[in-house]
């Protein structure tokens, strides 16, 4: 392999202490498990992106004791420059505006949401570090200007101005940004601003309604606006010739009907591609027919047994293919040259998923590869089409040794009613395959996809401690078709919970899991499921770990809980009664399936953790449940992280929490657990 570029050499030198091999405890003993920091430290390298021409590479770079910075590599000269870095905060997000200029936002990654008192701000800088400019404020009272019309004076936009997160034209100093209007903590509408990142001047794009989502076309111009009102979602299309908006579809918002579709992106010829079911159980990618107002009859990309979940990949206005998520992520190429390139790179990097990214505007020799496997964290690699050389840029988890990680495989098992349940099973390294302690890791949501094949710090940390890990995609999980999704409606604590228990029974029947050494764990809905596992199947589980977990379904309606920051009240009115349960009609069921009312049935060890600044599942969910369960069960470990929100944002929190999890599991189902027969 050719020599690493200087950017990689610098990154590896900084991280050298983390890469030193661990000495074995004794000559014949296996090395100790990797420390918790190896799994849960902030990535030293992330958001790696080629410039529009492909000559430059930008990335966020971190190092111990240093704030995250934005660095740019000139691939022609093999030189690197830090173009944005601060003593008091971190660069947290960026995008290319054109080949010479970048836009970015900042934040403080050393404190959790509860300690944040500033917004992310918005800044721009040239790739050589020159002509830096602040564009949007970080304080609510700093440089506020109106978000309508245009400004001739260079004043800061208000704090609620953010990057759009979509690729623009990338051929001028202009970029589209989002101005978000809030009310009671929820997104009411989003204005689209065309911002000159060099002068700070801007112009507001006329909107057809209270827009919640904008979609740029292949040329980087606003072409679609999605409005939402109550239980209706309306799609508006902007005519390229006249610039006028017109409605093209109206759908129900939370419970899809047969005609529902979602816009994915545009081709270079103006074709709108949408995700739709077209009367089938699973969705696929279709071209939209403006004449009929419906998706076309022939799908473009379809994965049998899976809903389409991906994004379009374009180059110089040409649609090349798409990303696609099935059991794993991957690329599907419509372009023969890209398909051949994928084959060549896969041969050079065998056993890995290799996601390709190409420059947007030029025939550059460089291709950026994001390469990973179940045991190997993401590596960013540059491939040169002219020389065939691979240059490794960096790794998200440089202290991880893939040879010491567990191996993961997709599995399918039958639930008690015959429904097939997908899942992932990760086995610890070392060769043991039978009679293992098992952790059932339940995903949150619950109406979303869970894990996908690939390296996951939480799963691999557990596997590194000797546990098999089962991650079930219980009914209600999206991505596997409408029947699997709809089978989970109003099934919190019922059939959804049974699917998880049936996965444990399957693992026991296969000889994988020791029946007396099973623990259930999860966050958010997964935390709820962990608690309900002890309620419904107390003889199946020895313990439970629940973090930021829902404890009372009625509190989702009545408490200070926010399911979706953009649609909280509407979701409570139109989504929750169908998906979770009607607060009046299903009152008895909601009470019977809420852990807080069933706390007296829980007599197994519990580890409970919450964030003090959590707005989605506020702390009182945990406090009320803790008080209820401790009246009769003293095997409760309780921890609060005051500055954290709905999940752990700080490395120190992750280190502390997962160290607690390690000790808790070891005590109850691990090597320190007393030997006992299955119930």
Per residue in 50-85, pLDDT (tens digit) is 999 999 999 999 887 789 999 999 999 999 999 999
| pLDDT at 136 > cutoff 70 | yes
Per residue in 166-202, pLDDT (tens digit) is 999 999 999 999 999 988 778 889 999 999 999 999 9
Provide the pLDDT confidence category of residue 627 given band limits of 50, 70 and 90: very high
Provide the pLDDT confidence category of residue 676 given band limits of 50, 70 and 90: low
671 burial via Cβ count (<10 Å: 0-12, 13-18, 19+): exposed
pLDDT cut 90: percent of the chain above it? 79
Per residue in 281-298, pLDDT (tens digit) is 999 999 999 999 999 999
pLDDT cut 70: percent of the chain above it? 91
Confidence at residue 438, expressed as pLDDT on a 0 to 100 scale: 98
| pLDDT at 329 > cutoff 70 | yes
Q: How far apart are the first and last CA of the chain?
A: 56
Spell 211-250 as b/e; 16+ CB within 10 A means b. Answer: bbbbbbbbebbbbbbbbbeeeebbbbbbeeeeeebeebbe
Confidence at residue 65, expressed as pLDDT on a 0 to 100 scale: 79
Q: Which residue has the higher pLDDT, 427 or 257?
A: 427
Q: For residue 511, which phi and psi values (nearest 5 degrees)?
A: 85, 5
| pLDDT at 3 > cutoff 50 | no
Confidence at residue 13, expressed as pLDDT on a 0 to 100 scale: 27
Confidence at residue 28, expressed as pLDDT on a 0 to 100 scale: 52
Provide the pLDDT confidence category of residue 229 given band limits of 50, 70 and 90: confident
Find the mean pLDDT for residues 411-437. 96
Q: For residue 533, which phi and psi values (nearest 5 degrees)?
A: -60, -40
All structural domains of the chain: 405-558+602-668 (3.40.50.1820)
| pLDDT at 140 > cutoff 80 | no
Per residue in 28-47, pLDDT (tens digit) is 567 889 999 999 999 999 99
Per residue in 425-454, pLDDT (tens digit) is 999 998 889 999 999 999 999 999 999 999
Bond from prior residue into 446 cis (ω within 30 degrees of 0)? yes
Q: What is the pTM of this model?
A: 0.91
- DSSP label at 542? S
Confidence at residue 142, expressed as pLDDT on a 0 to 100 scale: 56
Find the mean pLDDT for residues 122-144. 86
Confidence at residue 22, expressed as pLDDT on a 0 to 100 scale: 31
Confidence at residue 558, expressed as pLDDT on a 0 to 100 scale: 82
Provide the pLDDT confidence category of residue 152 given band limits of 50, 70 and 90: very low
- DSSP label at 53? T
């Amino acid at each position: 392999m050719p020599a690493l570029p200087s950017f990689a050499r610098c990154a590896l030198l900084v991280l050298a202490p983390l890469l030193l091999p661990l000495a074995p405890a004794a000559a014949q003993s296996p090395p100790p498990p990797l420390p918790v920091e190896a799994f849960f430290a902030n990535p030293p390298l992330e958001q790696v992106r080629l410039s529009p021409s492909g000559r430059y590479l930008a990335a966020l770079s971190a190092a111990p004791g240093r704030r995250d910075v934005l660095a740019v590599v000139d691939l022609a000269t093999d030189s690197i420059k830090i173009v944005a870095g601060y003593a008091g905060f971190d660069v947290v997000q960026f995008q290319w505006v054109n080949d010479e200029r970048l836009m970015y936002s900042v934040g403080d990654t050393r404190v959790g949401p509860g300690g944040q008192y500033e917004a992310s701000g918005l800044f721009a800088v040239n790739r050589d570090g020159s002509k830096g400019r602040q564009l949007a404020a970080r304080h609510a009272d700093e440089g506020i200007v109106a978000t309508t019309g245009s400004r001739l004076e260079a004043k800061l936009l208000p704090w609620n101005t953010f990057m759009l997160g979509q690729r623009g034209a990338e051929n001028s100093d202009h970029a589209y940004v989002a101005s978000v209007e809030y009310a009671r903590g929820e997104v009411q509408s989003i204005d689209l601003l065309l911002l000159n990142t060099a002068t700070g001047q801007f112009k507001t794009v006329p909107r057809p309604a209270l827009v919640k989502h904008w979609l740029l076309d292949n040329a980087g111009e606003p072409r679609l606006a999605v409005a939402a009102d109550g239980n209706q979602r309306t799609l508006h299309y902007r005519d390229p010739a006249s610039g006028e908006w017109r409605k093209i579809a109206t759908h129900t918002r939370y419970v899809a009907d047969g005609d529902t579709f979602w816009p994915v992106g545009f081709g270079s010829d103006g074709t709108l591609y949408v995700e739709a079911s077209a009367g089938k159980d699973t969705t696929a990618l279709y071209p939209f027919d403006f004449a009929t107002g419906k998706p076309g009859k022939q799908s473009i990309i379809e994965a049998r047994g899976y809903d389409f979940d991906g994004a379009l990949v374009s180059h110089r206005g040409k649609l090349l293919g798409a990303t696609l998520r099935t059991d794993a992520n991957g690329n599907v190429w419509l372009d023969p040259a890209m398909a051949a390139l994928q084959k060549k790179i896969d041969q050079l990097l065998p056993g890995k998923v290799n996601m390709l990214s190409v420059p947007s505007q030029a025939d550059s020799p460089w291709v950026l590869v994001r390469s990973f496997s179940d045991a190997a964290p993401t590596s960013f690699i540059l491939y040169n089409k002219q020389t065939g050389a691979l240059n490794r840029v960096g790794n998200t988890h440089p202290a991880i040794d893939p040879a010491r990680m567990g191996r993961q495989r997709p599995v399918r098992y039958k639930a008690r009613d015959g429904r097939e349940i997908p899942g992932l099973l990760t086995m610890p390294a070392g060769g043991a395959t039978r009679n293992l302690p098992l952790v059932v890791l339940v995903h949150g949501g619950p109406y979303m996809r869970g894990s996908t094949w690939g390296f996951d710090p939480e799963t691999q940390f557990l596997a590194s401690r000797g546990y098999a890990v089962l991650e079930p995609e219980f009914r209600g999980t999206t991505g596997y078709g409408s029947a699997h999704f709809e089978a989970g409606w109003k099934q919190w604590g019922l059939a959804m919970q049974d699917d998880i228990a049936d996965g444990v029974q399957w693992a026991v029947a296969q000889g994988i899991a020791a029946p007396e050494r099973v623990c259930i764990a999860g966050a958010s809905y997964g935390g709820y499921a962990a608690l309900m596992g002890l309620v419904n199947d107390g003889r199946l589980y020895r313990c439970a770990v629940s973090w930021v977990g829902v404890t009372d379904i009625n509190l989702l309606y009545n408490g200070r809980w926010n399911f979706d920051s953009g649609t909280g009240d509407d979701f409570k009115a139109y989504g929750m009664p169908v998906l979770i349960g009607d607060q009046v009609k299903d009152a008895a069921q909601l009470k019977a399936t809420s852990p807080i009312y069933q706390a007296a049935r829980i007599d197994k060890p519990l580890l409970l953790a919450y964030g003090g600044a959590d707005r989605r599942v506020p702390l009182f969910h945990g406090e009320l449940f803790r008080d209820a369960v401790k009246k009769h069960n003293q095997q409760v470990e309780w921890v609060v992280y005051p500055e954290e929100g709905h999940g752990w944002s700080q490395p120190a929190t992750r280190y502390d929490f997962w160290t607690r999890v390690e000790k808790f599991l070891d005590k109850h189902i691990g090597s320190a657990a007393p030997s006992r027969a299955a119930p």
